[in-house]
Amino acid sequence: METIILRGKSKSNARLLLELADKLKFSAKSLSEMEEEELGIAISVDEGIKSGLLSEKEKKDFLNSL
């Protein structure tokens, strides 16, 4: 399985891409602003955990504080 995230400024082009995805039998979803922000936060947290800049204890403490 592959995941592709596209971001654009044109609603009409976004609809066109969603229609194309449907015709190609891809699952596709338009994200709300809140979902987009939450995805960005999740990616940032994941990158931070994998970066090795924090000790395991610091990582656990941070995640528990959320």
C-beta of residue 62 within 8 angstroms of C-beta of residue 51? no
In a domain, 9, yes or no: no
The pLDDT value recorded for residue 20 is 95
As for how many domains the chain has, the answer is 1
pLDDT in tens, 6-29: 888 999 999 999 999 999 999 998
**Beta carbons within 8 Å of 45's beta carbon, 6+ residues apart:** 63
The pLDDT value recorded for residue 63 is 82
Q: Distance between CA atoms of 17 and 27, rounded to whole angstroms? A: 11
Q: Distance between CA atoms of 26 and 33, rounded to whole angstroms? A: 22
Q: Pick from 21, 22, 16: which is nearest to 4 by CA?
A: 21
In a domain, 60, yes or no: yes
Q: Quick check: helix, strand or coil at residue 10? A: coil
Q: Enter the pTM of the model.
A: 0.59
**Domain of residue 50, residue span:** 31-66
pLDDT in tens, 27-66: 998 899 999 999 999 998 888 878 877 788 887 888 889 8
